[in-house]
Structure 1
Amino acid sequence: MDSATARNGDVEIAYEVFGTSEGSPLLLVSGMDGQMIGWPDGFCLALAAAGYQVVRYDHRDAGLSTHFTGRKRAYEVTDMLDDMLAVQDSMGWTSAHLVGLSMGGGLAQFAALLRPERVKTLTLIGAAPQYGNQLRLFRHIRFPGPFKMAFHRYGKSRDEQKRMLMDITRFSGGKSLPLEEDWIEEIAEECLRRRRPDPHSRARQLAASRAAKMPKGGIGQITQPVLAIHGDEDPIVRPSAGRAIARTVQDGTFVLVHRMGHLFSPPLWPELVDRITRHAR
């Protein structure tokens, strides 16, 4: 694995590379407020072994990338899209297969619409269809689902922040195949080492998402092949979201993965890698 930094104006975007330049370009796009290490090393290596050059990166306001301040919107979704393209440019890629998780899947949909020449295929995991109207998304959100975490209170100490990160990650897994506890703790420790949580970064990213304007015709104008993958045990987003994406885009396929949550544990990696490799050609 190699580490590097891309630049979008004054913003620095940290990224990591798995595999060689002979592999087909594949960019992993993380969810809201998630650091790139949320894509497990083993999963990235499995994709690289399947013939891809894999890149994962930290969004602005996450991990080792540039952070902003304040509680109000500090940037637009188009700025986050330009960050993604800056990583592709830094890699020397003219286009790439995009694999987006949750909010990352939403950003990938905007990339396909606004910069279609830079997107080969889309694989959207646990993602919701982008309508340009946040209220329409609520039909796909489980209740109380993610709102359970809003009632948890954590202190500012390192141990309390670690507990918070572990609780959020643990909640995002499936019940039948829960995430490995050792990995949950390891990732929490590494996230804290890289950057302590900013209580307002999620709000800034959410504000950018809420303000995003959908091009005329919406995701129905996406022409690239789209694979919508959803876990039947996703505690945050209903499978109806993936079905809606596949139904609306011009070339869409929906796959329901049994025993998978919003995040996915190692026993599911072979199925996911197989699905992605058969799709992203």
Structure 2
Amino acid sequence: MAHWSTGQDGTRLWYETFGKKGDPALLLMMGNSCDATLWPKQFCQMLSDKGLYVIRFDQRDTGLSNWIDFSENPYTLQDMAADALQLLRTEQIEKAHIVGFSTGGVIAELFALNYPDQVLTLTLMMTSIDLTIKNDAFMGKDVSQAELPPPKDSFINAILELKKRPINTLHDKIELMVDNFREANGGKAPYDREYFYGLFEESLRRVDGKSQKVGHESNHALATSATSPLTKNELKSIQRRTLVIAGEEDPILPPPHGEKTADAIPAARFLSIEGMGHVLNPVFFPQLVSAIEKHIQGN
């Protein structure tokens, strides 16, 4: 069922729920410039079938939520965490299990730091203690001395080549996103182009009147740059039970990023999934849902 919430600074947010209200709430936070539909319905339904009230939402500058002129109204990932708090208040939910993917994982960490009383458990998927390494690598900066591995050169080169493609139609944009995710999927797991084409077609048709884009410009990247990286001392103050999930074939944030994150959070456990890249690939849905369910149950 679809709903609306008013986030930080009056930002209007679209969200959708799965399952029965009154069951333990699970809030999903997607990554950079990705809307709610990138948490696929099948994945959300599988989680709700475990007795959870699942919420996926369009963060600001994605999907049907407000798109913002960043030059006039800049914001940070802290503001996006505050948006999520307002959404829970709209739903009259006092506490929730929080799941964050990639940049959404950092937003989830900020949520846990700023609003610990609203967090039951934390699940961080394909994320990092420091996203600046990834951002610097894509800007061509020297990251050879970085504490954690940058994205693979082959991945960066492939994405830069994809960006050279002319985009004239909605089909062109969908194909571009399908190929982008194929690269992020890594080289081992099967990649169903037809499935991902349908996923991006759904996402892009929602906003086709605005723009043939999943997210608005690069505002999430700007918000990430405007947010100070979390320190190890800050992460040490997260006291909620945490599961950190990494994909062994992640070409963007390789497993050491997840390991470092888990090492910094006292009550964290690290799980690396064989063959998985930086994509919510249906091949891994059963494994991911099972891991989240066991984590929530304390197993």
Matched to 1:82, the amino acid is A
- Alpha-carbon offset, residue 180 of structure 1: 2.0
Question: What displacement does 1:146 show?
Answer: 4.2
- Tell me, what secondary structure is at the counterpart of 1:139? coil
RMSD: 2.4
Deviation at 1:40, TM superposition (A): 1.3
Which residue of structure 2 lines up, in the alignment, with residue 189 of structure 1? 201
The CA deviation string for residues 179-208 of structure 1, in whole angstroms up to 9 with x for no partner, is 322221111211221123459835221121
In 2, distance between residues paired with 1:226 and 1:175?
28
d(CA) in 2 for partners of 1:96, 1:170: 32
Equivalent residue number for residue 265 of structure 1 = 281
Equivalent residue number for residue 20 of structure 1:
20
From the superposition, tell whether residues 271 and 55 of structure 1 become closer, same or farther in structure 2 (CA, over 3 Å): same
Partner residue of 2:180 out of 141, 162, 168: 168
Percent identity of equivalent pairs: 27
Q: Distance in 2 between matches of 1:48 and 1:200?
A: 26
Instruction: Classify the secondary structure of the residue corresponding to 1:201.
Output: coil
Residue of structure 2 equivalent to 1:201: 216
Q: What is the count of residue pairs matched by the alignment?
A: 280
TM-score for both structures, normalised by structure 2: 0.86
Q: Which residue of 2 aligns with 1:245?
A: 261
TM (norm. structure 1) is 0.91
146 and 7 in structure 1: CA distance in 2 versus 1, 3 angstrom threshold: farther
Tell me by how many angstroms 1:69 deviates: 2.8
Q: Residues of 1 paired with 2:82 and 2:280: CA distance?
A: 28
* C-alpha distance 122-147 of structure 1, shift in aligned 2 (>3 A): farther
Q: Residue 65 of structure 2 aligns to which amino acid in structure 1?
A: S
Secondary structure of residue in 1 paired with 2:74 = coil
State whether residues 25 and 95 of structure 1, in contact with CA within 8 Å, keep that contact through their aligned partners in structure 2: yes
Equivalent position of 2:161 in the other structure: 151
Letter in 2 for 1:5: W
Counterpart code for 2:97: H
Map of 1:49-88 to 2, 5 A cutoff? 49-69=49-69, 74-88=74-88
| Distance apart, 1:178 and its partner CA | 2.6
Contact 1:58–1:64 (Cα < 8 Å) also in 2:
yes
Partners of 1:238 and 1:97 in 2: CA distance: 25
CA distance in 1: counterparts of 2:198 and 2:230, whole angstroms? 41
Q: Which stretches in structure 1 are left out of the alignment for 5+ residues?
A: none
- Residue number in structure 2 paired with 1:11: 11
- Are 1:210 and 2:234 an aligned pair? no
- Do residues 178 (structure 1) and 194 (structure 2) align? no
Partners of 1:57 and 1:225 in 2: how far apart?
A: 23
Letter in 1 for 2:171: D
1:73/1:207 contact within 8 Å kept: no
